[in-house]
Structure 1
């Protein structure tokens, strides 16, 4: 299976004083606020790191549900919090905190399946992806 997804960010002004928006193809995010404050302090809006954490928790949890289904388990509840650490201009780690209710599964099988989901989740592997750029100056 191959597909593409799009998102768009717009920015006006200098880094600290400027402001912008971010939108997704699905319009789940539609001109969501983006600013220095929402990235490095508190404020209404989102930021790239929060979006990466959201994408990682969603992708991992969905991947785990597929793997559990392959093993004939039906999870009652899977909840994952992704805690992203940003230090000195770099995303240094993401910790996935998983809580699951999966009737009939042993703890060992749950742990092994969760580890496999972490390893094969597309977002877990994303930073190893090819990154290309086209830049056009107006």
Structure 2
């Protein structure tokens, strides 16, 4: 909340996380279900209430589907890896990118690499895609411009 106010944001966008689950084996199934529903809804509701009443900010939720799988710049498919040197190699070599995609497929990682050589932190790419999903509700032709 303080970050949004400090940087003069107008909207706070949340991922609508449906698969958030508490620790297995710690509590009963029914207790875990109640805790899960409470946790997901209360964080959003509390933050949006404070944002609306104290700072006049809009809050919204978007579906996080494919936010990490596709590039925010050109909507091309991404590969992810944790190794920075290997990520740079994949970014400069399209044939290695194709080979890695065919053998490894999609899996989690810190770096996201597109076939055309674009490399970005996967969390930043996902954040941009989440913001784009919010804006796509209100406009049809939307592009992210690299600065």
Tell me which protein shows more helix as a share of its residues: 2
Do both share a fold (TM > 0.5)? no
Higher relative contact order (CA 8 A, sep 6+): 2
TM-score bracket, shorter-length normalisation: under 0.3
Structure having the higher strand fraction is 1
- TM-score with structure 1 setting the length: 0.25
Normalising by structure 2, we get a TM-score of 0.24
